């Protein structure tokens, strides 16, 4: 393993070891998310040098990030070290570095990290699996006031913001500032916005009950805003309606057809009206990482690479894009940006490369098998859509819980999440209610 990385070349100045001069083919996978890891695993028996590069040392189970943001789970419970893969897979090296460039002419990528400097690494095959990041639709200035939810540190920031707001509300004697601190606005009513809003509603009603002498957290105002016509637009309309009713029952105010014009220190302006809020959370749009653009291929409006039916970049032999970073059409519909699609694409490309290396021709193009779409709306309620099947309620929620436990990356994640869920279910308590940094003064006019 060490030898594999040692001959990459120490830095920019050093000659790049040409992949084609090597005995074994070198495959570089950028991104240790669902797609990248699935590709790596599919290549576990291949006689290749495989390098998996990620700027983080951990894989995140993103579907449960909202539970870290609302203190149900702690970060370690939904993440697993990517490096652990080296134990199981002899042909794999993990490199903690950020890829900053791709040069298809010289077939090299450029990676950088503090201990490593900048290195060029040659490849025979390249698999780009760099996922998406929050998009503020051209208003990056909103990010300062409205964090998105994509990483563990985002989730911790949101958790600290929510818990900190109650502390400030309890301490202040200014009635209007107290009300601003106890108003939470979530922008974007897709699955993440819905799940986060419902979990927050239960936290204020159950977990925080009786915790404050001078305020009643249950009186907090939780507003879910969306510019579209309904919540969960990728689900059937009947399920959207059921979810809206459920959210309303939990105390969430759902405002659709309302565009956010400004996010600032005071809160938001939406549809011309000012909503005062100290905690605005961005659950609206996503855009691809910059890497697909570096491939010089066509990209869609969200920055995803348009790939052929074999997930290849056109006119770039041996270069693939998988997962959220790829724009793939199937039966005239885009393949959705969900974990299952990413896993299936990564696995497909891993197998395709393994077959090619054995001299076999792959004739079957990628086909996404849709196992269904789910969203959870607080305790005892989830919705499921699969083909013609649409279900909601407690049984669906149990199915959701079962599937998510099984899908967690490691046995220890599964055991720990199960234990926390049982504790939380029967006591209403959440064991990760930490504010790592003391809350800052977020009143308008303060330096934040
Ligand atoms: C909050 C949230 C909730 C979600 N809930 C669900 C759900 O309930 N069900 C569902 O199916 N899907 C859900 N999704 C979507 C799902 O998580 C994605 O579809 C899936 O993660 C895509 O996998 P991926 O491998 O393409 O990208 P990711 O899993 O995002 O992985 C990309 C990896 O690339 C790395 N990377 C990026 N750029 C670089 C670079 N330049 N250099 C090095 N490394 C880089 C990143 O660090 C990351 O590890 C959710 C997503 C979010 C954000």
Strand partners, 381: none
- Token pair of 447, please? 């330096």
Q: Both 278 and 328 in a single domain? A: no
Q: Which has the higher per-residue pLDDT, 446 or 104?
A: 104
State the average pLDDT over residues 401-425. Answer: 97
Pocket test for ligand 1, best of 70, 339, 373, 406 (most atoms within 8 A of CB): 339
Q: Both 145 and 266 in a single domain? A: yes
Neighbouring residues of 39: CB distance < 8 A, sequence distance ≥ 6: 29, 127, 129, 322, 346, 347, 349, 350
Atom number of ligand 1 nearest to Cα 149: 1
Question: Predicted confidence band at 164 (pLDDT cuts at 50, 70, 90)?
Answer: very high
**Do residues 418 and 410 make contact, with C-beta atoms less than 8 angstroms apart?**
no
Query: Residue 149 pLDDT more than 60?
Result: yes
Residue 179 alpha carbon to ligand 1 centre in Å:
35
Q: Is residue 72 part of a domain?
A: no
Query: Residue 169 pLDDT more than 60?
Result: yes
Domain that includes residue 28, residue range: 9-55+97-134+286-357
Q: Both 220 and 275 in a single domain? A: yes
Number of domains in the chain: 2
Chain CA centroid to CA 317, Å: 29
Count of CB atoms within 10 A of residue 84's CB?
15
- Domain CATH for 112: 3.50.50.60
Quote the CA–CA distance of 342 and 131 in Å, as a whole number: 9
> Of residues 195, 332, 385, 437, which has the active-site annotation?
195
Atom number of ligand 1 nearest to Cα 65: 1
In this prediction, residue 442 carries a pLDDT of 60
In this prediction, residue 114 carries a pLDDT of 85
Question: Predicted confidence band at 447 (pLDDT cuts at 50, 70, 90)?
Answer: very low
Atom number of ligand 1 nearest to Cα 31: 34
29 sits in which H/E element: strand 26-30
Q: Calculate what percentage of the chain has a pLDDT beyond 90.
A: 88
Burial 176-209 (b: 16+ CB within 10 A, else e): ebbbbbbbbbbbbbbbbbbbbbbbbbbbbbbbbe
Query: Residue 17 pLDDT more than 90?
Result: no
What letter does residue 77 receive in the DSSP assignment? G
Q: Is residue 327 part of a domain?
A: yes
State the distance between the two ends of the chain, measured CA to CA, in whole angstroms: 46
Residue 155 alpha carbon to ligand 1 centre in Å:
14
Question: Predicted confidence band at 277 (pLDDT cuts at 50, 70, 90)?
Answer: very high
Would you put residue 345 in left (φ > 0), alpha (ψ -120 to 50) or beta?
alpha
Query: Residue 19 pLDDT more than 90?
Result: no
Burial 134-148 (b: 16+ CB within 10 A, else e): bbbeeeeebeebbbb
Q: Both 14 and 129 in a single domain? A: yes
Q: Which residue's CA lies nearest to atom 23 of ligand 1?
A: 34
Q: Both 188 and 318 in a single domain? A: no
State the average pLDDT over residues 418-428. Answer: 96
- Token pair of 77, please? 């419970």
In this prediction, residue 448 carries a pLDDT of 46
Give 186-207 pLDDT, tens digit per residue: 999 999 999 999 999 999 999 9
Q: Both 291 and 252 in a single domain? A: no
Give 331-359 pLDDT, tens digit per residue: 999 999 999 999 999 999 999 999 999 99
Mapped onto helix, strand or coil, the DSSP state of residue 384 is strand
Pocket test for ligand 1, best of 52, 131, 404 (most atoms within 8 A of CB): 131
Q: Is residue 218 part of a domain?
A: yes
Q: Which residue's CA lies nearest to atom 30 of ligand 1?
A: 131
Residue that is last in its domain, among 307, 335, 357 = 357
Give 219-248 pLDDT, tens digit per residue: 999 999 999 999 999 999 999 999 999 999
Residue 120 alpha carbon to ligand 1 centre in Å:
25
Residue 63 alpha carbon to ligand 1 centre in Å:
9
Q: Is residue 184 part of a domain?
A: yes
- Domain CATH for 229: 3.50.50.100
Quote the CA–CA distance of 128 and 76 in Å, as a whole number: 26
Q: Is residue 304 part of a domain?
A: yes
Q: Which has the higher per-residue pLDDT, 437 or 15?
A: 437
Give the residue among 2, 3, 12, 5 at the shortest CA–CA distance from 119: 12
Query: Residue 259 pLDDT more than 90?
Result: yes
Residue 192 alpha carbon to ligand 1 centre in Å:
13
DSSP 321-364: E-GGGEE-EETTEEPPSSHHHHHHHHHHHHHHHHHHHTTPPP-P
Q: Is residue 223 part of a domain?
A: yes
Give the residue among 6, 201, 156 at the shortest CA–CA distance from 93: 6
**Do residues 133 and 286 make contact, with C-beta atoms less than 8 angstroms apart?**
yes
What letter does residue 72 receive in the DSSP assignment? S
State the average pLDDT over residues 9-31. Answer: 67
Q: Both 238 and 220 in a single domain? A: yes
Active-site residue flag, 261: no
- Which residue ranges have their beta carbon within 6 Å of ligand 1? 30-36, 53-56, 62-63, 65-66, 98-99, 129-131, 149-150, 191-192, 289, 291, 323-325, 337-340, 342
Quote the CA–CA distance of 146 and 138 in Å, as a whole number: 14
Atom number of ligand 1 nearest to Cα 404: 8
Residue 400 alpha carbon to ligand 1 centre in Å:
19
Atom number of ligand 1 nearest to Cα 59: 49
Query: Residue 3 pLDDT more than 70?
Result: no
- Token pair of 216, please? 């009643």
Count of CB atoms within 10 A of residue 414's CB?
16
Q: Is residue 322 part of a domain?
A: yes
Q: Which residue's CA lies nearest to atom 51 of ligand 1?
A: 62
Q: Is residue 212 part of a domain?
A: yes
Pocket test for ligand 1, best of 28, 30, 32, 33 (most atoms within 8 A of CB): 33
Residue 324 alpha carbon to ligand 1 centre in Å:
7
Q: Both 144 and 277 in a single domain? A: yes
Question: Predicted confidence band at 431 (pLDDT cuts at 50, 70, 90)?
Answer: confident
Quote the CA–CA distance of 107 and 17 in Å, as a whole number: 11
Longest dimension (CA), the chain: 74
φ, ψ of residue 441 to 5 degrees: the values are: -75, 115
φ, ψ of residue 383 to 5 degrees: the values are: -120, 150
Quote the CA–CA distance of 28 and 439 in Å, as a whole number: 42
Q: Which residue's CA lies nearest to atom 39 of ligand 1?
A: 130
DSSP 199-265: HHHHIIIIITTT--SS--GGG-EEEEE-SSSSSSTTS-HHHHHHHHHHHHHHTEEEE-S--EEEEET
Mapped onto helix, strand or coil, the DSSP state of residue 197 is helix
Residue 56 alpha carbon to ligand 1 centre in Å:
12
Pocket test for ligand 1, best of 63, 73, 85 (most atoms within 8 A of CB): 63
Atom number of ligand 1 nearest to Cα 100: 41
């Amino acid at each position: 393993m060490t030898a594999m990385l040692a001959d990459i070349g120490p830095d920019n100045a050093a000659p790049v070891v040409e992949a084609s001069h090597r005995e074994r083919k070198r495959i570089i996978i950028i991104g240790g998310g669902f797609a990248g890891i699935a590709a790596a695993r599919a290549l576990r028996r291949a006689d290749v040098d495989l390098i998996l590069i990620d700027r983080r040392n951990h894989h995140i189970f993103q579907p449960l990030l909202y539970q870290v943001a609302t203190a149900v789970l702690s970060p370690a419970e939904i993440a697993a070290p990517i490096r652990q893969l080296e134990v199981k897979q002899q042909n794999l090296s993990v490199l903690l570095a950020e890829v900053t460039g791709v040069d298809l002419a010289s077939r090299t990528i450029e990676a950088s990290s503090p201990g490593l400097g900048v290195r060029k690494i040659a490849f025979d095959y390249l698999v780009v699996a760099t996922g998406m990041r929050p998009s503020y639709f051209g208003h990056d200035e909103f990010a300062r006031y409205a964090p998105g939810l994509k990483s563990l540190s985002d989730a911790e920031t949101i958790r600290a913001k929510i818990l900190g707001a109650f502390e400030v509300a309890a301490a202040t004697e200014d009635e209007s500032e107290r009300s601003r601190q106890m108003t939470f606005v979530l922008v974007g009513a897709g699955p993440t916005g819905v799940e986060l809003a419902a979990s927050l509603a239960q936290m204020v009603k159950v977990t925080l009950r009786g915790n404050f002498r001078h305020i009643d957290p249950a009186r907090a105002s939780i507003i879910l805003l969306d510019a579209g016509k309904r919540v969960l637009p990728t689900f059937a309309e009947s399920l959207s309606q059921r979810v809206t009713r459920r959210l309303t029952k939990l105390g969430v105010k759902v405002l659709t057809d309302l565009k956010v014009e400004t996010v600032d220190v005071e809160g938001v302006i939406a549809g011309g009206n000012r909503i005062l809020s100290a905690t605005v959370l961005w659950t609206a749009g996503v855009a691809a990482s910059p890497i697909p653009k570096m491939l010089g291929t066509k990209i869609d409006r969200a920055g995803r690479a348009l790939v052929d039916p074999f997930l290849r970049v056109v006119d770039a032999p041996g270069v693939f894009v998988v997962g959220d970073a790829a724009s793939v059409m199937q039966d005239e519909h885009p393949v959705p940006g969900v974990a299952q699609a990413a896993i299936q694409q990564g696995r497909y490309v891993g197998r395709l490369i393994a077959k090619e290396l054995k001299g076999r021709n792959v004739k079957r193009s990628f086909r996404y098998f849709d196992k269904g779409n789910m969203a959870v709306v607080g305790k005892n309620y989830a919705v499921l859509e699969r083909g013609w099947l649409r279900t909601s309620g407690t049984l669906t929620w149990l199915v959701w819980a079962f599937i998510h436990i099984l899908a967690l990356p490691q046995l220890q994640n599964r055991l720990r999440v199960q234990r926390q869920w049982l504790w939380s279910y029967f006591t209403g308590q959440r064991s990760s209610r930490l504010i790592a940094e003391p809350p800052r003064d977020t009143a308008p006019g303060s330096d934040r």
